[in-house]
Amino acid sequence: MAASLTDSHCHLNFELLRNNLPQVLQNARESGVGHMLCVGVTIEKLPEVLALAHEYPNIFASVGVHPDEQLGHDPSIEELVQLAQDTRVVAIGETGLDYYRIKGDMTWQQDRFRRHIRAACVTGKPLIIHTREAAADTIRILKEEGADRVGGVMHCFTEGWDTARAALDLGFYISFSGIVTFRNAESLRDVARQVPADRLLVETDAPYLAPAPHRGKTNEPAFVRYVAEQLATLRNISLDELANTTTNNFFSLFHDAQPIGIGD
């Protein structure tokens, strides 16, 4: 029996996937993807994420508001802690900083990020960090807030080795998405070769960022296999070993997630 893959970051409740969910889940199964983490990006849509995680034992949920979400409800620490009490919630996020999409005074984004880190520390649940064109501030705030107490993952990693090293030093994991398969991503592939095996995760960020050879199409958890194959090649190990390692890492980091047994 081949080792099973885990998609550590996807958005199954987004329309492109939700409208086709039975097929999407069947494709995942057939590609050897045993577990998925459906990541929350708004409070308004959180009930959809939780419903999926309650319906399917191999789908887990997280609670958070994405840094690009400027208009929706911006929860307090207490609200985040309360929402994270749901038995299927294994992480806080996605949260972080994104200076690419929105410009101007980013104090509001940084305040929100700090509230998520504090909620993670209260609940003991790890963080899912999104960072884009904001690596220095992201690392600085993680340090200032003592995020090393709970750890987490730098999701859809696209930064250089210095940022990876700083995140690793805080006890964080590094997750690679389909971007690592893109033709122009040679420097990211260099980073992917260097991340210690016990800190490595794979993800799709579906429905976005489909890996080669499906680039530009709707992404889905089944395609995490292409990410895993790329990483296995880069690191000179078998796909089976890569799958085993990243799935074990997933359950070490997201310690509230219970794996389903084979045949469940």
In the complex, least distance from residue 218 CB atom to Zn ion, rounded to whole angstroms: 14
Closer Cβ to Zn ion, 179 or 228, answer by number: 179
What is the smallest separation between the CB atom of 236 and Zn ion, expressed in angstroms? 29
Q: Which of 57, 23, 20 is nearest to 38 (CA)?
A: 57
Helix (H) or strand (E) holding 34: strand 33-38
Per the CB < 8 A criterion, the answer to whether 154 and 172 are in contact is: yes
Q: Based on CB atoms, which residue is closest to Zn ion, 159 or 205?
A: 205
Q: What is the dihedral of CA 55, 60, 66, 71, to 10 degrees?
A: 20
Q: CB nearer to Zn ion: give 156 or 166.
A: 156
Using CA atoms of 60, 61, 62, 67 in order, give the dihedral in degrees to the nearest 10.
110
Report the interface residues with Zn ion, using CB under 5 A.
Answer: 94, 130, 205
Closest distance of CB 47 from Zn ion, Å: 18
- 37/232 with CB nearer Zn ion: 37
Nearest distance from residue 41's CB to Zn ion, in Å? 7
Q: What's the min distance (Å) between Cβ of 130 and Zn ion?
A: 3
Cβ(228)–Cβ(243) below 8 Å: yes
231: helix, coil or strand?
helix
| Distance of closest approach, residue 81 Cβ to Zn ion, in angstroms | 22
**Paired tokens of 106:** 């980013």
Residue nearest to Zn ion (CB): 130
> Which two structure tokens, joined as six digits, stand for 150?
């709970």
Contact 125, 61 (CB under 8 A): no
With vertex at residue 207, the alpha carbon angle to CA 35 and CA 89, rounded to the nearest 5 degrees, is: 45
Output the CA angle 22-24-28, nearest 5 degrees: 115
